[in-house]
Structure 1
Amino acid sequence: MGLAACIAAICGGLYGYDTGIISGALLLITQDFHLGHAGQELVASAILAGAVVGAFATGWLSERFGRRFTVKVVTAVFMAGAACCALSPGVETLIASRLFLGLAVGGSTQVVPMYISELAPAEKRGNYVTLFNVAIGVGIVLANIIGYLMRGVWSWRTMVAVAIVPAAVVFVSMFFMPGSPRWAAENLGLERAASILHRIRPNKRAVKRELRQIEKVTSSTQGHERGWRGLGQPWVRPALVAALGVAFFTQCGGLEMMIYYAPTFLSNVGFGKSSALLASLGLAIVYAVMTTLGCIFVDRIGRRRLILVMAPGSVLSLIGLGVMFAIGAKAGIGGWLVIAFLLLFMLFNAGGIQVVGWLLGAELFPLPMRGQATSLHAATLWGSDLLVTGTALSLVQGITLGGTMWFYAGVNVLSFLFVWFLVPETAGASLEDIEDALREGRFRPSPGDVRIAGEPE
């Protein structure tokens, strides 16, 4: 499992770097190609449009050819996409290249968390899967460090091209990784699943116990609807609503807007370019620290509880930030308060829903339609991200920067209410426990926060 965790980390780091590097590089790209705000939105959001397509495409690949094979394909596209971006002669080519690179970004977020969740033991699944989130934060930090320290040394082309190296490392490493035991049980038989589990579990007793659970679930799915048609079944709907709703609020709460446009926003209200990039680096560091803490504690605290505890802080931070922008604060105490509210928002958002958003998509869906469902989940994440990134600057133009912050504060209020009423706790439950709860109608939150792994009511 150690190597699997490293693979997840590198893939998450690639996603974080390839999306985060645009924050600093966009200032240089804008100078190179003389972009207006619409052109900046196109360059920034092209990777997200590709990610939506990539998320859907890898769902079919991961079901047809397996999770491990799909990760190989995704990393190959990462390498090719980064090279195309770095060599783009004009803005049109750059946008097309970032669209292609987005296929790998979206594909990685569909297949890697699912692959790790199917390898990990139930008691550590949250820790292992959220390593993907931690690595996203590390990738964003590295992107911002390079954007700040190397802006006068490297061109934006070099900044983009360095992502080829870690992608190549993952590609080679995948030849030594085990396949998914759950996918193997469904497609190659229980004997193949058992041989994989013997490689990654500490003893025969753990293997036998897990095989019994897998066999029970695979036998219960015989003759039932599978794939995309299976997602329309009433018993699957609560998981679909919970996972896709949290996915939407993960991206539409404002964090991606901060990652992509914080230097642009701060520069536009009077901060110097160096100060704006330094603030963006601070945001990236807070993101990395909070997702790391979330990774450590998500299995102890719980998915649902973590969101509910942190969401009010996100709301208050955005309200405060909106006030600061509305009164034109940019120097002295006002300037410091702008930075403080930015960092506080990142602390609460990254430490709460950002930790859980990717995890729920990897663990909530039943095995017969898991590949397609995780595709839909990843596409929802990226579609929401595209919505935010493609409209952020226009929204600021329409309702001012302060009004934009208040708008996103409202979105965070809605996310709190959604989780309170529709998302149950899944910490400590195996993937098979979650599927049983769905089939038996026990998949719902309760006042006592009873875990779905409990006995039927």
Structure 2
Amino acid sequence: MPEDDLVSRAMTHASPQGQATSPATPTTGHAIVVGVLAALAGLMFGLDTGVIAGALRFIGTDFDASPRMQEWIVSSMMAAAAVGSLIAGTISFRFGRRRALLGSSILFLLGSLISALAPSVTVLIIGRIFLGFAVGIAAFTAPLYISEVSAVAQRGSMIACYQLMMTGGIFLSYVTDGVLANGAHWRWMLGLMTVPATVFLIGCLFLPDSPRWLMMRGEKLRARTVMRYLRPSPQQADQEISDIATELTRGRSEGFSFFRNNANFRRSVGLGIVLQIMQQLTGINVLMYYAPKVFQAADFGASAAGWATALIGLINLVATCVAIVTVDRWGRRPLLLLSCAIMTGSMLLAGGLVEYGGHDTTAQIAMVGSLLVFVLGFAIGAGPLVWTLCAEIQPLRGRDFGIVCSTFTNWATNWAVSNTFLSVLDTLGEAHTFWLFAGMNALFIAITLFYVPETKGVSLENIESHLLAGWPLRDLGARSMPQDAKISTRPSA
């Protein structure tokens, strides 16, 4: 697997510590336009993730699809995204970030067309698989590309643009579903995705190659030309090219060999995998994919269920903005603990309302309120912070490998949950399903308390040195080793 540790630095929104320093240069208008065009991948990600929520009930009616078949319609995209995330690094390294994004835009367009015109469930699933490959490739490549074309001082805000587009895409898809729900126009819901997919494809045609990728290919003159296009002065561009050349002399990730030989690295990879599993077991994607079904089960009409789902998308968007602003002020652990506590309480309440609340208007309003609070809790903590922590805790020598492991785990667990939810719902009932997710969120609180470090304001190098010295995972961000902590004696290669 090719190495590129800048993907993790982009995801952590931190300035890249440990590399040659360069002046904090502003991002030019060219770089902003290029970054926004690449961030359209996030919009497509969000649109294709959210649109199926409103379309699914109409697809089930038209194709007489059983709940089990509907699970496959939803989860086929997640399974393909897991595979796409595994091959994205190789594609991005071999063919370049621009071509990887261009390829994903073509897959988005083809997948949207196939899904909208599908004459059967089988063809619809094929279209969803195309979309999954597109999502898996784009979700890996777009933040990486944006990090490489943006100036250091603005890298965090440019990556935030990608995240905001993703949550904005989910919200827009819910609004579209709400507008089209009255006529059961599910083909229009899926077909409208071709419009942003076409815009994304055209935008990718005008993207320059990443200067860092060109440097990795030994094309220094082309890299300098692109960098001068993206930076406000030739001197600043040339300095950044020099910094990249210096960093590239330090070698690449040892990947799997480092994982096999170093017990401490296995600990950080293991924590990243556990965090991604727990993120998916919070119940968030069940709500994103099946929200209208959940609301209809609570006696909402089809149109009311669609608009209640759109409100969930809006809360997700706004709360994500809050998380971006507060994560470097409040810290990871406090936000994550608050997030899990809110989700636990709201899932308990939702289950209680289903079981004991009745079916009047007051109960319906309370149900919407509990699920909105749940989404708010997820978006301020478990949503963005799991990705941030998974990048921060991995050492440089294996960062790319560690991120690929956690990303694949996210999609694989996403697939497993979305592929079984309706069956679990039928077996346990709605109330007990909500309570099951409440239990998972309570477990997430315990994992955070015992294993998740506070990494706010701590350099990646210090986190790495603490990890490889055998410090407990919980203390990786500490300034000094707590006296009651037990240092691992496992060898550090």
Cα deviation 1:8-29 (Å, max 9, x = unaligned): 5321111111121111111111
Moved more, 197-206 or 20-29: 197-206
Query: Judging changes above 3 Å, is the alpha-carbon distance between structure 1 residues 169 and 352 closer, same or farther for their aligned structure 2 residues?
Result: same
* Residues 1:73 and 2:131 are matched in the alignment: no
* 2:292 counterpart of 1:263: yes
Please report the TM-score for the alignment, with normalisation by the length of structure 1: 0.86
Letter in 2 for 1:226: E
CA contact (8 A) 1:134 1:292 kept: yes
Q: Is the aligned partner of 1:323 residue 2:352? A: yes
Equivalent residue in structure 2 for 1:188, among 196, 202, 218: 218
* RMSD, aligned CA: 3.4
- Residue 51 of structure 1: aligned partner: 81
Kept after mapping to 2: 8 A contact 1:117/1:362: no
Select the structure of larger CA radius of gyration. 2
Q: How far does the alpha carbon of each residue in 1:293-330 deviate from its partner, in whole angstroms, 9 at most, with x for none?
A: 22333344444443233221111111111111122533
Is contact 2:35–2:149 with CA below 8 Å preserved after alignment?
no
- The answer for the alignment partner of 1:35 in structure 2 is 65
Listed as ranges, the matches of 1:81-96 within 5 Å are 81-96=111-126
**Compared with structure 1, are the counterparts of its residues 72 and 256 closer, same or farther at alpha carbon in structure 2 (3 Å cutoff)?**
same
1:226 correspondence with 2:254: yes
Whole-Å separation in 2 of the counterparts to 1:363 and 1:206 = 28
- The Cα shift of 1:242 comes to 3.9
Q: Deviations over 1:175-227 (max 9, x none)?
A: 443444554454437776666555545678876886676556543436xx634
Alpha carbons of 1:381 and 1:254: their partners in 2 closer, same or farther (altered >3 Å)? same
The offset of 1:287, in angstroms, is: 0.7
Match of 1:455 in 2: none
CA distance, structure 2, for counterparts of residue 445 and residue 210 of structure 1: 35
- Once residues 333 and 207 of structure 2 are traced to their aligned partners in structure 1, the CA distance between those partners, rounded to angstroms, is 32
Query: 2:170, 2:313 within 8 Å by CA — same for their partners in 1?
Result: yes
Would you say the 8 A contact 1:22–1:44 is kept in 2? yes
**Aligned to 1:221, what secondary structure does the other structure show?**
coil
Q: Is the 8 A contact 1:322 1:403 kept in 2?
A: yes
The answer to whether residue 273 in structure 2 is matched with residue 253 in structure 1 is no
CA distance in 1, matches of 2:224, 2:268: 28
Q: Structure 1: which amino acid aligns with 2:57?
A: L
With 197-206 and 102-111 compared, the bigger mean Cα shift is at 197-206
The alpha-carbon distance between structure 1 residues 329 and 5, as it changes in their structure 2 partners (threshold 3 A), is: farther
User: Residues 205 and 352 of structure 1: is their aligned pair in 2 closer, same or farther, counting only changes over 3 Å?
Assistant: farther
Residues 100-122 of structure 1, C-alpha deviations (whole Å, 9 max, x = no match): 22111122222222333444455
Given that 1:122 and 1:431 are in contact with CA atoms closer than 8 Å, whether structure 2 keeps it comes out as no
Structure 1 position 446, deviation (Å): 3.4
The match for 1:22 among 42, 47, 52 is: 52
Q: 1:62 to 1:386 in 2, by over 3 A?
A: same
Q: Which moved more, 1:295-304 or 1:137-146?
A: 295-304
Partner of 2:416: 387
Distance (whole Å) between structure 2 residues aligned to residue 173 and residue 243 of structure 1: 34
Q: How many residues align?
A: 451
Show the counterpart of 1:158: 188
Quote the residue 2:440 is aligned against.
411
Q: Which amino acid aligns with 1:52?
A: A
Asked whether the 8 Å contact 2:454–2:477 carries over to 1, the reply is no
Q: Give the AA of the match of 1:12.
A: G
**Where does residue 115 of structure 1 map in the other structure?**
145
**Structure 2 spans left out of the alignment, 5+ residues:** 1-30, 481-493
Give the distance between the partners of 1:195 and 1:432, measured in 2 at CA: 32
* Structure 1 contact 365–373 (Cα < 8 Å) conserved: yes
Structure 1 residues 360 and 169, CA, compared in 2 at 3 Å: closer, same or farther? farther
Alpha-carbon deviations, 1:306-364, whole Å to 9, x = none?
A: 32332211111111111111225331322221111111001111121112234445666
Q: Percent identity?
A: 31
Distance 2:291 2:156 in 1: 30
Residue 351 of structure 1 pairs with residue 380 of structure 2:
yes
**Structure 1 residues 438, 63: CA separation in 2 closer, same or farther (over 3 Å shift)?**
farther
Deviations 1:221-280 (A, max 9, x none): 36xx63444444525435423433332222221110011112112212322222222211
Task: Letter of the 2:106 partner, please give it.
Answer: A
1:87: Cα distance to partner? Answer: 1.5
Pairwise CA distance, 1:430: 7.2
CA apart distance, 1:420:
3.6
Match of 1:145 among 169, 175, 193: 175
Trace 1:91-102 onto structure 2 (pairs within 5 A): 91-102=121-132
CA distance in 1, matches of 2:348, 2:434: 7
Deviations 1:36-57 (A, max 9, x none): 2112111111111111111112
Question: Separation in 2 of the partners of 1:180 and 1:416?
Answer: 40
CA shift, 1:173, in A, is 2.3
Does structure 1 conserve the Cα–Cα contact (< 8 Å) formed by 2:298 and 2:364? no
What is the one-letter code of the residue matched to 1:142?
Answer: L
Does residue 287 (structure 1) correspond to residue 316 (structure 2)? The answer is yes
Q: Does 1:106 align with 2:136?
A: yes
Residues in 2 aligned to 1:329 and 1:188: alpha-carbon distance in whole angstroms:
68
Distance 1:419 1:121 in 2: 33
Q: Deviations over 1:377-426 (max 9, x none)?
A: 32211111111111111112222211111211222223233334434345
Paired residues of 1:23 and 1:259 also in contact (CA < 8 A): yes
The corresponding residue for 2:3 is none
**Aligned 8 A contact 2:342 2:377 in 1:** yes
- Superposition deviation, residue 432 in structure 1: 7.1
